[in-house]
Amino acid sequence: MFKNQKGSVLIISLIITSVVFSVGATILNISEKDKIRTSISYKSSNAVRVLDTVFECVLYHDFQNDLFNPRKIRIEKNLECGDNLIGFSGLSNDQLELPFSACDTSTNTKISMCDFLVREDSETYNNKPCALVHLEKSCSDGSDISSCDANLKTKINIISYDLCDFVNTNVVHRRINTSY
């Protein structure tokens, strides 16, 4: 009778140990998933904040300063939105930064296209949020942009990233498209 009790105590202690271990592993798994969800949520809200800021900044400079009008000559400069200085530059096809000066009409005389990168800090943009902006202007009557007497139509496509890292495909981003 005592021989069976020694074995049963060992089996009961193994069962209790495995139950405690399973509960601990489950709690650890839940906390890791929660940590990942929280991180993604934070990055997503950061991307939305950048998208909103850049969108309003581009609209402000389009309406107030006529910065993207293809019929005007512009100098290289930074966008200022409120107290923030948002530096921007153009992007070539291989994602290298180029100075932003004017919108391009070389490929199509009916459309003026602006492609540029907007970032919060022009010196240290690595590991900071940024946005890619594609802006198109065309004449509402379909004529050449340089001789357009009608209103200009505008299309804006902005993609914001929580980190300015175009090599890493795991960055969180948001997009907004608008036309007027």
Dump the DSSP string for 114-179: EEEEEES-SS--TTS-EEEEEEEEEETTS--GGG--SPEEEEEEEEEESS--SS-TT--EEEEEEE
pTM exceeds cut of 0.85: no
Give the pLDDT confidence of 21-77 residue by residue, as tens digits: 999 999 999 999 988 888 778 778 888 888 888 898 888 888 887 777 777 655 555
**Domain regions of the chain by residue span:** 30-179
Give the model's confidence band at 178: pLDDT under 50 very low, under 70 low, under 90 confident, else very high: very high
Give the model's confidence band at 80: pLDDT under 50 very low, under 70 low, under 90 confident, else very high: low
